Amino acid sequence: MAQETSRDVGPVVLLGPPGAGKGTQAKRIMERYDIPQVSTGDLLRENAAQGTNLGLAAKAIMARGELVPDDVVCGMVRERLSRPDCKRGYILDGFPRTAAQAGWLDALLDDKLFDNSRPTRAWPIVICLDVDYNQLLLRLTGRRSCPTCGRIYNVHFQPPRVDELCDLDGTKLVTRNDDRLEVIQPRLTAYQEQTRPVAEYYQRTGRLITVNGDRPMDEITAEVYRILEDHHA
Ligand code: AMP
């Protein structure tokens, strides 16, 4: 689909359980509107791979499928959102994940990190991808990604043309460390217990838009684009 890079999209929050397709949709939004994807999971994994103090502290927690402490994640997000590429908007993928993070984000946006004088308002558009539990399990156990270009595949639904190799650059695909069955359950529990209240918080404040994520990716993407564009019509 064509790019729409003249729009100031503002902050977009993608909510939903692990495996709901947040990363895939975030990449598509990023390409269409030319705004960055800010994935706290990706930032934490990068830190872990680089061996920073933050990354080393987060690595063990992530391997258990638990949530990294709020202050660590919020500090990382603050730094990322202050960069110039976030001026026209950004997509938060995997953040906020606790009620405390959601409150922190509201305070940050109130604080005009995102420039309120512009026509786009600072409240995030919050889109929650809703996916059936059994479908989530298939998506998480089948997920593979390309370590070179970041493209995401699924061995059940969207396999690469050649087994285990990226269609775009031929790199061997990898499975995320926390997509192992024994870590998936604690991640889904963390979602139910800590992130569901975030969706309820946005629901109460009238900002939650729920999208049925149990459909083909392109259909979901078309609906997400419509939501974003209706908001700015
Ligand atoms: P994700 O890639 O979004 O599934 O995140 C992978 C892991 O990173 C999670 O299971 C958590 O351990 C950690 N993580 C990512 N985002 C957050 C967040 N907003 N708050 C706390 N932990 C997070």
Q: What is the pLDDT of residue 120?
A: 44
Q: Which atom of ligand 1 is nearest to the CA of 66?
A: 12
Closest C-alpha to 92, from 152, 19, 10, 199: 10
Query: Which residue positions in the chain have pLDDT lower than 50?
Result: 113-114, 116, 119-121
**Per-domain residue ranges for the chain?**
10-227
Q: What is the pLDDT of residue 119?
A: 42
Task: Please tell me if the CB atom of residue 94 comes closer than 6 angstroms to any atom of ligand 1.
Answer: yes
Dist. CA 157 → ligand 1 center (Å): 24
Domain 10-227 sits in CATH 3.40.120.10: no
Identify the bridge partners of residue 174 per DSSP, sorted by sequence position. Answer: 145
- Where does 64-110 have alpha helices with state H? 70-81, 99-110
Q: Does residue 196 carry a catalytic annotation?
A: no
Token pair for residue 50? 């680089």
Q: Does residue 176 carry a catalytic annotation?
A: yes
Q: What is the pLDDT of residue 115?
A: 52
Candidate list 59, 121, 176, 207, residue with the active-site label:
176
Count helices and strands in the chain by DSSP H and E runs: 9, 7
Q: pTM for the complete prediction?
A: 0.89
